[in-house]
Structure 1
Amino acid sequence: MTKLRLSHPSGIVRGRIQLPGSKSESNRFLILKALYAPEMQLSGLSDSKDSEILQQLLASYPNQKELNAGDAGTAMRFFTAFLATQKGEWILDGSERMRERPIAPLVKALSDLGAEIEYLEKQGFPPLKIKGRKLKGGLLHIDASLSSQYLSALMMIAPSLEQGLEMRWAGQPVSMPYIYLTANCMRRMGFKVFVLGNEVRIPAQTELDFPKQMTVEPDWSAASYWLAMAALAQEAEIYLPGFRQFSMQGDSIVAQLMAPLGVDQTFIGSGIRIHKAEALPIPTQINLLDTPDLSQTLIPAYAAKGHSVQFTGLQTLRIKETDRIAALQKELQKFGQQSEVGKDFLHLKGGFQTSLQSIATYGDHRMAMGFAALALLHPIEIENPEVVGKSYPAFWEHCKVLGFELEEF
């Protein structure tokens, strides 16, 4: 097992970080390009493992009948819907963990639209046998309680369906901002997309004058780790170029959520400046239903400040790369943090002590990067640090830019 010892000699972080492209935007534009606009050029694409896997799948499917999405959940869901609309027959599999992650709501929805998909092993989970065809479309009711990616996958194939798509769901879907992000990506390409309350309407439309080039915004999930660094640093001045002032990425709300820890951001025309500011009052509860990927950034940072806060809306964390609620609780216990957890919440109880803790990452990129900021308080060790490649391969090199010292052993 590889370990990385991470420390910071001064606690002062200053520098410029060129973040990778948004994984969420990249994966959406890759599917949309393959479906409708193969000549469109994409710039600023994410160099994450997830996006690379999706590109490999899109390049391989015409000549390869057995495909593997590895541990890339977004690729698995988006590509399942993609293959369902293509003429041919494929087997789509994933890693052992992917075989434990549910896909039944998406498969049922595609089947209702006329797709032919068969479970090859456990009902409701990969691997899948997919026989692609022209789908009819029409009215669809879907369970959106597990993942917004089911909705996004269906939205992106909707213009190619004979009748377009009218999609409705009951209750509040998780990660709703990602549905808005999908709609925004499609509108930027010229599609008509209507999101009204608990329904989405997208008419059939393929003969459009698509843009010749599309630029992907930097990744706000990646930016969140640098806001956590600023929160725990003695002094902070970090510039992140390339962001839009009004981003559609749901995780852009992280600046507001970090404000109680004394961090602020300023948009300066071509990017954002992260710096120290007067701390706002500490909330008693933070709901992350819309932005669950921020949990492993926010929870360690709030814990390190010794605050008692309840984080809710975490139900999807149980079926991510690992059971993230259990992983967070277990690693925080190493710092003396006795948190209370439930099906969809984690309640920090206050108290935090640092020594040379070793952080297990559970094969989860966000565990490694979310806990890295704690090295500003005391040296820590990160187990299997290479997991960051799933979303942010340059993360450790960027830590060096801000003065962190790294020792691999």
Structure 2
Amino acid sequence: MEYNTQMDAARKGIVTKQMEIVARKEKMDVNRLQQLVAAGKVVIPANKNHKSLDPEGVGNGLRTKINVNIGVSKDCYNLDLELEKAKRAIELKAEAIMDLSCYGKTQEFRRRLIAMAPVMIGTVPMYDAVGMLDKELKDITVDEFFSVVERHAEDGVDFMTIHSGINRATAEKVKNNRRLTNIVSRGGSLLFAWMELNNRENPFFEYYDRLLDICERYDVTISLGDACRPGSIHDATDAAQIEELIVLGELTKRAWARNVQVMIEGPGHMAINEIAANMLLEKRLCHGAPFYVLGPIVTDVAPGYDHITSAIGGAIAAASGADFLCYVTPAEHLRLPDLEDMKEGIIASRIAAHAADIAKGIPGARDWDNAMSAARAEVNFPRMIELAIDPEKAGRYREQSQPECEDTCTMCGKMCPMKNMKKILNGEDLTIK
């Protein structure tokens, strides 16, 4: 039996190769996974033209996944460095990479990335439109916008962020309910500007069925972008954000009617006490579709440390229902991240995702922690380092400060509680001088 998308297959009772792989990774019954994909509660982004893909699932009952952003800008145009970042992100076990390049002719880079990457690849075609078409924003036509989307789909992009929810009505909410930070979404601000300059409706809202045609043809998952996500804790959960979320819920149902897979993007900057309620709102208004959050960053005053502010918010968000975390690096709000920034962002996001998986009761999540605890109880430092989320850093710290006794560390030395409890419980003598 033929099918167009993973959702189409699931609704026809077909278990695809991608579903089998994801079910095995997630320790989930494949028929249960098929039901979740059919209901839209799990997506398997898998463009038909992404031949190197090792598929992952995102959504209800699955491990929390993380995404890493790369891409060139006019000020930092080094394609080889961005490919190096992509390879490093894959080594560090990110499940997705988004190419956010916003300058130059990026198709060659995008194709090289898709050809080498076994992870999900996402893009924001709006970023590419100005550079690819070599035109001023206000002069880009509706047909030209869709030509960029189609090119990304042809190249093999698995999921695309499309800001279809910022229509004229949502834009009025932004204008009539002024924010401290206005619209901080790059793609959303470009579409807002295009609508204002041309006095026209958002083409990705007005011609949404045309977008669905492309996504259905290539099995591209739509990541419905949150143009009105808060860029400061002051702006969180305001009228514009909620108005757009309601629209995204309506667009989700229209996509599902065409068997097109959907994720919903979310905040943003947000105080800790608002996060759980926002996760509930998204799941309710968007009918249980997987939720992809950008942070949330829980305080605005920590530039240089926003991988930490984001990991705090990401852990709470994922434990409260979010399914996919976009990493944030220490360079957020300051500059394009370098390789070390990227690593710190990935590790912070992976910690947040794993902490949430423990809270959500994801099968096998606690096994890793229990193995680490057992190694600590045995004072087995090689095993601890092997199990660490960042073995390189753990090993380096151990090497930099050697203790007198090999089975201790330089914090406690002979007073190590793990070592001493082990000895006492084994009936051995104890000397700590």
* Fold agreement, TM-score > 0.5: no
Please say which structure displays the higher CA radius of gyration.
2
Q: TM-score, normalised on structure 1? A: 0.29
Larger helix fraction of residues: 2
Larger strand fraction of residues: 1
Q: Which has the higher contact order (CA 8 A, sep 6+)?
A: 1
